[in-house]
Amino acid sequence: MLYFTLLLYAIIHAVKINKISSYSRDRWLTKPFSAQAYHAWLINKGSLTARLQQRYSDFSVKLSTVKYAKPTKGEARLLHLPIGKTALIREVLLNGGGHPVVFAHSVLPRRSLRGEWLRLEKLGSKPLGATLFANPKVKRTPLSYKKLSSNDALYHSATQYLTKKPDYLWARRSIFSLHCAGIIVTEVFLPDMIVRNAVNQITLKD
């Protein structure tokens, strides 16, 4: 009897730890504390695509992944999707100066790919942000932020294209909605954005 009681206690304890761990991994912040050089980019509420196009004359989008798959539990909760329900996962690299500077991960539920958003499934290498910001009817939730570490799946997706992997990456995300349809857009800022910005500033000063 004692054995089964201890076993039950161990199982309950393991479940609690797992829930706490999952919550911790999915926890996003309302402000990017100690983001340093990334701070101005993270808090800017305008179109990131438009800002990168202004900064880089050779700006381009490279399509990485387009597939139907299960969103993370956190993403499913935000979009009110049943756990296990698939959605269109779109991942791209935003390039500038000949290097990837942002990794973008978007979750588009099937129910959102209708009406004015019917063509989002076939954007190809066209930037999603440009399409979203071009429509004044589209609403956006406040930005949330996260300092991604090697424990985050999103960190590994973003760094698979990098030769040198940093200790962490800053990311931000928000939900865009139109007529009760919503999609999540997450943008991960890569090291080359800040490094090359610093080099450009030094060049201008010289």
Q: Which pLDDT score is estimated for 161?
A: 85
Q: Which pLDDT score is estimated for 167?
A: 93
How many angstroms from the chain centroid is the CA of residue 200?
A: 26
> How much is the average pLDDT of 106-122?
93
Look over the chain and give the mean of its residue pLDDT values, rounded to a whole number.
Answer: 85
Residue 157 has pLDDT above 90, yes or no: yes
Percent of the chain with pLDDT over 70: 82
Determine how β-strand 139-140 pairs with β-strand 144-148.
unpaired
Please state, in angstroms and rounded to a whole number, the distance separating the CA atoms of residues 142 and 202: 33
**Predicted structure pTM score:** 0.82
Q: What is the largest CA-CA distance in the chain?
A: 78
Contact assessment for residue 102 and residue 52, using Cβ atoms and an 8 Å cutoff = yes
pLDDT in tens, 172-195: 999 999 998 999 999 999 998 875
Structural domain boundaries of the chain? Answer: 60-205
> How much is the average pLDDT of 75-98?
95
Q: Which pLDDT score is estimated for 27?
A: 86
Q: Which pLDDT score is estimated for 83?
A: 86
> How much is the average pLDDT of 122-149?
94
Q: What's the CATH code, domain 60-205?
A: 3.40.1410.10
Query: Measured in Å, how far apart are the chain's first and last C-alpha atoms?
Result: 78
Which amino acid is residue 99, in one-letter code? H
> How much is the average pLDDT of 102-128?
94
